[in-house]
Amino acid sequence: MSSTLPERPPKLLDQLRRRVRDKHYTLSTERTYVYWARWYIRFHGLRHPADMGPEEIRAFLSYLNNERQVAGATFRQALCALLFLYKEVLGIELPWIDGVEPPKRVAKRPTVLTQTEVGLVLAQLEGVYQLIGRLLYGTGMRLMECAQLRIKDVDFQRREIMVRDGKGGKDRITMLPLSLVQPLQAQVATARRLYEGDRLCRRPGVMLPHALERKYLQAGTQLGWFWVFPSDHESTDPRSDIIRRHHIYPQTIQRAVKRAVLAARLTKPASTHTLRHSFATHLLEAGYDIRTVQELLGHADVSTTMIYSHVLNKGGRGVISPMDQLAP
């Protein structure tokens, strides 16, 4: 008689990864949740989370809050990761965790560049990075939304860009600036040449969102799904292990903008996201209503957009200093 050994269940972190993918969360969320779960396990001497409970979770969160003094956003990130691990992977509810007090949110106003400063930064960018910088400022897209832009989602006739699967999984439409139509058409032509080369070499198609790759087997090899900003080389897909062409790496865009800010000799701590902040602020300054700006940015709640309304209160909430009323 031959006996077969029972299959070993997948490791906990692999189960976590699978559950995150089932929920269609982004790769960055997957890596973040795995990071915090691994730290939590190591913090408690490699004990299995199923063997731990409220006491251990509180101890870890207290360590983050008091000893590591992490920012409020970082604390909430760790808390969400542990909630997901216990509820979605282990099937354990943690109703008591609602009473855990995260660090207080510190209201911070976003860094905003003037139009002159934006021009100085964009002038220091070159090639495709300048086009991406101009798109970030001219459309209000987030960094990953721009990096993952596909050819089919750019409508040159209507001068619109469809932003797919943005924050919260929502789609939205933003404008395509008239000044960027020709440069973007040239970039699409460049991307098309890479696409045709990939097809000649019979390389695998580009990654498709969610289950589309299984539903439409050949869609990844169609031009419309190809990246507007493709990488100049192939790499291994971190989820499927398929070697294929991905979009431009967001880290390279971040580094290019950082170098441009330094070269422009700005004193403000600006980044790629600062261009989005500046887009929203300059629209409000131009008199556009806040609901329109909310839709362009893809904010679920107008209160998020309201943070940009501080620009309307120039010079200390619009108050004229008595110093300026003194006779010269």
* CB-CB neighbours of 278 under 10 Å: 25
Catalytic residue selected from 142, 150, 245, 247? 142
How many Å apart are CA 66 and CA 58, to the nearest integer?
Answer: 12
Establish whether 142 is a catalytic residue.
Answer: yes
Catalytic residue selected from 17, 172, 276, 277? 276
- Of the CA atoms within 13 Å of residue 108, those in its CB half-sphere come to 10
Establish whether 244 is a catalytic residue.
Answer: no
Establish whether 239 is a catalytic residue.
Answer: no
Catalytic residue selected from 244, 258, 273, 310? 273
Closest CA to 143 of 167, 118, 161, 179: 167
Q: Tokens 């089919």 belong to which residue?
A: 152
**Residue 125 · residue 133 · CB < 8 Å:** yes
The string of DSSP codes covering 58-69 is HHHHHIIIIIS-
Catalytic residue selected from 76, 87, 167, 268? 167
How many Å apart are CA 81 and CA 198, to the nearest integer?
Answer: 38
Structure tokens at 165: 């699967």
Closest CA to 281 of 307, 299, 318, 308: 308
Establish whether 233 is a catalytic residue.
Answer: no
**Residue 262 · residue 254 · CB < 8 Å:** no
Catalytic residue selected from 134, 150, 282, 299? 299
The string of DSSP codes covering 67-133 is IS---HHHHHHHHHHHHHIIIIIS----GGGGG--PPPPP--PPP---HHHHHHHHHH--HHHHHHH
Would you name the residues annotated as active-site residues? 142, 167, 273, 276, 299, 308
